[in-house]
Amino acid sequence: NAGVTQTPKFQVLKTGQSMTLQCAQDMNHEYMSWYRQDPGMGLRLIHYSVGAGITDQGEVPNGYNVSRSTTEDFPLRLLSAAPSQTSVYFCASSDPGFGEQYFGPGTRLTVT
Amino acid sequence: GQQVMQIPQYQHVQEGEDFTTYCNSSTTLSNIQWYKQRPGGHPVFLIQLVKSGEVKKQKRLTFQFGEAKKNSSLHITATQTTDVGTYFCAAYWYSSASKIIFGSGTRLSIRP
């Protein structure tokens, strides 16, 4: 039981490049979400999903896309990276109905 | 939009002193969760509060949910160096059951 896994751990992009951050969980959780963490800003919700085929926007969705084709996977796509997207990204999963959230180890992204 | 304010942003205490962090919402919450993040790590779930006026204890940690379900606090008695980290509250509202919003966190550092 690996819990929530994220790849890569570190990534450096140039402005304008695109990439996908991967997130997978093996706990059969319906709810998955993506956060970004910036110094002094806490965790800000980017997108979330309540089940396969269902996604919704969080607090800061601009510049990011998500899809949820399976229960296990919830990738986050950066379409055209900008320096403002330099951050640490966390994926989390939980049971529905206000469940405890399990976080992945994070991806540290730098956009130059 | 929905937001939860968390204070203080930083707290530096002598080992053995007490520590408290507070979260406040202008609207009624359905429930609130607390997480701890160690430096360089990911957030880890501590507890969930659901009922008005609820008080829960975990060893030296005491969690409270206000009578109006608009505020919550985490109190640590006699801090130890293992308590170092950032403490976040995470709030759910009845109007957006699937969306969790985190406070900005309180970073606790301790002088041995």
Does B102 contact A45 at a Cβ distance shorter than 8 Å? Answer: yes
By the CB < 8 Å criterion, does B100 face chain A?
A: yes
State yes or no: pLDDT of A102 exceeds 70: yes
- Count the helix, strand and coil residues of chain A and give each as a percent rounded to the nearest 5: 5, 55, 45
% of chain B at pLDDT higher than 70: 97
Q: Report the C-alpha gap between A52 and B35 in whole angstroms.
A: 26
Mean pLDDT of B76-100: 90
Question: How do residues A63-78 score in pLDDT, each as one tens digit?
Answer: 999 999 999 999 999 9
Chain B closest-CA separation from residue A97 CA (Å): 7
CB A90 within 8 A of CB A48: no
pLDDT score for A98: 72
Q: Report the C-alpha gap between B15 and B97 in whole angstroms.
A: 39
CB A34 within 8 A of CB A64: yes
By the CB < 8 Å criterion, does A27 face chain B?
A: no
Does B99 contact A56 at a Cβ distance shorter than 8 Å? Answer: yes
Q: Report the C-alpha gap between B8 and B109 in whole angstroms.
A: 12
pLDDT score for B97: 62
Does A42 contact B105 at a Cβ distance shorter than 8 Å? Answer: yes
pLDDT score for A2: 82
pLDDT score for A34: 97
Q: Report the C-alpha gap between A74 and A7 in whole angstroms.
A: 12
By the CB < 8 Å criterion, does B109 face chain A?
A: no
Chain B closest-CA separation from residue A105 CA (Å): 6
Contacting A residues, span 53-92, partner chain B, CB-CB under 8 Å = 56, 58-59, 90, 92
Does B43 contact A31 at a Cβ distance shorter than 8 Å? Answer: no
